[in-house]
Structure 1
Amino acid sequence: MAGTAGGGGRVHRGAQPRGPRKKLRAVARRWAAGGGRDDTCEAARAFGLAPPDPEPEIELWPECMPSVEVFLACATQWRLDAAGNPLGMDYPALEAVMRMLGTADVRQTFADVQVMEAEVLRVFSAAGGAK
């Protein structure tokens, strides 16, 4: 089953990845870079230009999918400082989302989401602030 991971790239199950945490970080970076709201292709076509090459697919292990689904469901649940820079995810909201989605392994999912959260914060910090 396939799903999107932002930037026009696809995320799907089944390949031989190098490790689940690396894949989770890749999804987090893709989300931090635009989270699927990339209008570049449509804008290029509107001006008669060739759209940019699509981003490569991110191959995920099936056991990563629940964590990615929870992370994406919590996309608006970030704590921000006074300047609007992300400080981290809102953990009570994360817990509520896991409960509503019926997450089976809450501890592992929480740990995976923290890996993704740290990667997003790293990307935002390197870029000089929030997306």
Structure 2
Amino acid sequence: METPVNSQDTWLYSGVKLTIHNTIIPDDKLKPTPSEQDNLDPEIEMDLRILGCELIQESGILLKLPQVAMASAQNLYQRFFYSKSFVRHFYEHYSMACIYLAAKIEESPRRLRDVINVFHHMRQFRENK
């Protein structure tokens, strides 16, 4: 464990100052979102947020990941899209990336090939419904 750089219990990791105060997204970053700034309808943005989380949940089940890994992936997904726009970034690619990263973070790693295969299977299943 690293030692604090000062007496206020803050740690310095690669130039990023970590404290309890910067772990939560500030209100001024929540509205307007980057997608709203790109003129995306708020209802469509909400649908894409929900769809991305559903993809993460479904893929996590197929990959037999623990629920904590799926929740971490959904958290990563939501945080990413509060800083980037759905207009410029395809939600499915980032759902895939988030589940892969969260599995590694939560020490339940899956091969990238397995993640790609699961998302490919889910896409084929959705298109054939």
TM-score, L = length of structure 2: 0.26
TM-score, L = length of structure 1: 0.26
Larger radius of gyration: 2
Greater relative contact order: 1 or 2 (C-alpha under 8 angstroms, separation 6 or more)? 1
- More helix by proportion, 1 or 2? 2
